[in-house]
């Protein structure tokens, strides 16, 4: 079984979560199966080494970007930093507001997390409308980072989230 099939076999479709009518893509089975998790990190590592060899930081989005991001950063021998929901990070922070489908949210980063000109890649588990990654890109632009791209395990193609983003998206699975 090839690596993408192995990953796909460990994504569970959960009907009517978190609300009626939504089919949630649950990535927990990937984390439970070491071979599937290794396939995710291997494929991301190969992509970054080929396309973005000068990446200096991996930026993980709360919460599931935290599951894959540090593993990838360790493989690459580079650092990992966090974009969180407002109020979770200590110290001077910078935040940006954005609108989700049903609610408003604020994304936040520590002011000293990234230096101007540093080359970064963002990572999350899934791209839907692109609102979350877009907000994170806005934050990193405010900090004058050089954003090279976004990495996601799953891209929901019908929602065209990639079109909203200022940088290319690399996805392992397109659903
Ligand atoms: P967007 O902002 O692109 O509309 O939504 C993406 C964000 O919502 C990501 O942070 C992602 O973790 C979460 N998300 C939305 N739908 C799903 C889903 O079906 N499965 C998973 N695992 N995450 C989702």
* 112-167 pLDDT, tens digit each: 999 999 999 999 999 999 999 999 999 999 999 999 999 999 999 999 999 999 99
Alpha-carbon distance 76 to 55, whole Å?
9
Is there a catalytic annotation at residue 101? yes
Q: Has this prediction a pTM greater than 0.80?
A: yes
Mean pLDDT (whole number) for 90-98: 97
Confidence band (pLDDT; 50, 70, 90) for 102? Answer: confident
From 30, 106, 126, mutation site for ligand 1 pocket: most ligand atoms within 8 A of C-beta: 126
Q: What percent of the chain has pLDDT over 90?
A: 97
Residue 161 Cβ < 6 Å to ligand 1? yes
**Is residue 81 within 8 Å of 59, Cβ to Cβ?**
yes
Instruction: Write down the catalytic residue from 64, 84, 108, 155.
Output: 64
What dotted CATH number matches 53-174? 3.40.50.2020
Question: Scanning the structure block, which residue is given the tokens 């919460």?
Answer: 63
Confidence band (pLDDT; 50, 70, 90) for 103? Answer: confident
């Amino acid at each position: 079984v090839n690596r993408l099939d192995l990953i796909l076999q460990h994504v569970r479709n959960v009907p009517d979560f978190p609300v009626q009518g939504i089919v949630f893509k649950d990535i927990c089975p990937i984390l439970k199966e070491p071979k599937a998790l290794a396939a995710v990190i291997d494929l991301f590592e190969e992509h970054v080494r080929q396309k973005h060899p000068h990446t200096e930081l991996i930026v993980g989005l709360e919460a599931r970007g935290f599951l894959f991001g540090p593993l990838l950063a360790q493989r690459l021998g580079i650092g990992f930093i966090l974009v969180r929901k407002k109020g979770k990070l200590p110290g001077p922070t910078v935040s940006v507001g954005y609108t989700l489908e049903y609610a408003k949210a604020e994304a936040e980063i520590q002011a000293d997390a990234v230096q101007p000109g540093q080359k970064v890649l963002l990572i999350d588990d899934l791209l839907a409308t692109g609102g979350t990654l877009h907000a994170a890109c806005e934050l990193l632009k405010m900090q004058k980072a050089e954003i090279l791209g976004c990495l996601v395990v799953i891209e929901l193609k019908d929602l065209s989230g990639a079109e909203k983003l200022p940088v290319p998206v690399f996805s392992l699975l397109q659903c």
